[in-house]
Amino acid sequence: EGMFHRGPGLNLTSGQYTAPLAGYYTFSTTLHIVHRQPCRKGQGCRGSRLRVLICVQSRCQHNSNLETVSRLESSGDPFTISVMGTLYLQAGQYASVFVDNTAGSRLTVRSGSDFSAVLLGV
């Protein structure tokens, strides 16, 4: 609802963008997140971080990904985290967004978050 969608590559069910052509694509995602279990007062969220990645073929351990890291704050207030960059995809390869939550606490991705891909060139 209210989303702009053009082109055959985006699968809304799987959350994956599949490249129709081999080439360089610029990807971006902005996630609006609520940290449902804030850290205890005085303890902070020591060592707790949130990684957001855009990975090719779900291989986030390889170099073919985009990544940003943010420290989880103890406030529990909603926050926004973004990642963007350029990746080369072969025709038929897919890219998708992953969230790595080292705190293990509940997070909710709120509406208004987005994921986009644009072919830059072949």
CATH number of the domain encompassing residue 80: 2.60.120.40
d(CA 30, CA 116): 9
Local mean pLDDT, 10-residue blocks, the chain (122 residues): 62 84 94 73 62 90 83 76 94 92 80 89 88
What pTM did the predictor assign?
A: 0.80
Is there a domain that residue 29 lies in?
Answer: yes
Backbone angles phi, psi at 40, to 5 degrees: -70, 145
Specify if 3 maps to a domain: no
Residue 4 belongs to some domain of the structure: no
Q: Do the domain assignments include residue 109?
A: yes
Total number of domains in the chain: 1
Residue 93 has a pLDDT of: 95
Q: Are 110 and 48 in contact (CB under 8 A)?
A: no
Decide if 96 contacts 13 (C-beta within 8 A).
no
Q: Say if 58 falls within a structural domain.
A: yes
DSSP secondary structure string for all residues of 103-114? T---EEEPTT-E
Provide the residue range defining the domain that includes 103.
12-121
CA-wise closest residue to 76 among 34, 109, 112, 48: 34
Give pLDDT, residue 1: 41
Any domain includes 70: yes
